[in-house]
A and B are shown apart, each in its own frame.
Chain A
Amino acid sequence: MKNVLITIFIILFAMPSFGQRFITKTGKVSFYSDAPLEKIEAVNNTVNCAMDTQSGFFVVKILMRSFVFEKELMQEHFNEEYVESEKFPNAFFKGQVQNLKQINFKKEGIYPVTIAGQMTIHGKTQPVKATGTFAISKGAIIASGKFPIKISDYGISIPGAVVGKISENVEIHVHFNLKPLKQ
Chain B
Amino acid sequence: MKKAIRIGTIGAITALLAAMYVWFFVYNKPHQNFEMAKPEKVLSASQCFENFSKNNTPDDGKVLEIYGIPSSIETADSMVVVCFYFKKGMFGDEGIRCTLLPKFQKAASKLSTTDTVYIKGFCAGYNGTDVIFEKSSIINKDK
Contacts and interface: CB of A to CB of B under 8 A. Distances in A.
A104 B130 CA distance: 31
A23 interface: yes
Interface residues of A, number: 26
Contacts of B28: 71, 73
A82 to B, nearest CB: 15
Contact of A46 (B29, B91, B132): B132
A138 interface: no
B99 interface: yes
Nearest to A91: B127
B79 interface: yes
Interface string A33-68: 000000000000110101000000001011101101
Given A46-B97, A73-B27, A62 B91 contact: no
A65 B27 contact: no
Instruction: Point out which of A25, A73, A177 has the most chain B C-beta atoms below 10 A from its C-beta.
Output: A25
Interface string A56-100: 000101110110100111010000000001100110000000000
Contacts, number: 73
Interface string B109-139: 0000000000000001111111010100000
Interface residues of B, number: 28
A20 interface: no
Interface of A is mostly: strand
Contacts of A71: 27-29
B32 interface: yes
Interface in B65-109: 74, 76-77, 79, 81, 90-92, 97, 99
B32 A72 contact: yes
Nearest to A23: B91
Nearest to B99: A46
A65 B129 CA distance: 15
A24 B31 CA distance: 27
Contacts of B128: 61, 90
B132 A72 contact: no
A143 to B, nearest CB: 15
B81 A26 contact: yes
B97 A23 contact: no
B31 A25 contact: no
A66 B124 contact: yes
Contacts of B50: none
Contact of B92 (A65, A72, A85, A181): A181
B26 interface: yes
A86 B123 CA distance: 12
B80 to A, nearest CB: 11
6 contacts: A46-B132, A46-B134, A59-B90, A65-B125, A73-B26, A86-B60
Interface of B: 26-32, 60-61, 74, 76-77, 79, 81, 90-92, 97, 99, 124-130, 132, 134
